[in-house]
A and B are shown apart, each in its own frame.
Chain A
Amino acid sequence: DTGVSQDPRHKITKRGQNVTFRCDPISEHNRLYWYRQTLGQGPEFLTYFQNEAQLEKSRLLSDRFSAERPKGSFSTLEIQRTEQGDSAMYLCASSLGSGNHGYTFGSGTRLTVV
């Protein structure tokens, strides 16, 4: 297990297109989180899963965003009809339990919408 993996590392897309990102957490971690980070800001919470259940969604997560974790292992984050404002680094993290021992982050997927 090499930690949290995210794919792709970079994505350039035209405005209006759909994109999908994948996150593979640490295998024994039951919680998986998605964050978004823009320039000069800290990571902002989007949503998280405990096993396959999506337990919380931020108001940042508009209707164009959807996340899944179908078997409680990997997760996907889809953005439909991308807008230039969606350009950001999308971070995935995982934890065992509530995360009071900290989260393990992936390297992120950098999305650029042109």
Chain B
Amino acid sequence: AQRVTQPEKLLSVFKGAPVELKCNYSYSGSPELFWYVQYSRQRLQLLLRHISRESIKGFTADLNKGETSFHLKKPFAQEEDSAMYYCALSDYGGSQGNLIFGKGTKLSVKP
């Protein structure tokens, strides 16, 4: 069964420290992976997609098919990065393209 696992419910770092939000997935086909972010009192929004290989707000994520991981990284965390982060998986070649979300990791960046 398709599944997304985010092992950390809460991650707390100091400003300027590196941050890595872990995401592992279980999927038999060719996955499409995403990171979504929800800032306080705002709606859920797309942060980045693995297919675009882009860096958004200093965040990057690399798809590692061997380890079935898609960890989100940023070298120097900022206070404004504090938010809920959700990893999501979609199957465009299979089911119909609905997103399967992990339970989320709350990132807290302390001054």
Chain A residues within CB distance 8 Å of chain B:
31, 33, 40-45, 48, 55-56, 91, 98-108
Contact = CB atoms under 8 A, between A and B. Distances in A.
Given A56-B95, A99-B97, A41 B103 contact: yes
Nearest to B103: A42
B101 interface: yes
Interface residues of B, number: 26
Interface of B: 4, 6, 9, 32, 34, 36, 43-46, 49, 51, 86, 88, 90, 92, 95-104
Contact of A102 (B9, B49, B100): B49
26 contacts: A33-B98, A41-B104, A42-B4, A42-B6, A42-B86, A42-B103, A43-B99, A43-B101, A44-B101, A48-B96, A48-B98, A98-B92, A98-B97, A99-B90, A99-B99, A100-B49, A100-B92, A101-B49, A103-B46, A104-B45, A104-B46, A105-B44, A105-B45, A106-B43, A107-B43, A108-B43
Contacts of B86: 42-43
Q: Looking at A42, A44, A98, A104, which has the most chain B CB atoms within 10 Å of its CB?
A: A42
Contact of B104 (A42, A103, A108): A42
Given A31-B97, A99-B99, A101-B49, 7 more contacts: A42-B6, A43-B99, A45-B98, A48-B98, A98-B97, A100-B90, A100-B97
A102 B95 CA distance: 17
Given A44-B101, A105-B43, A100 B96 contact: no
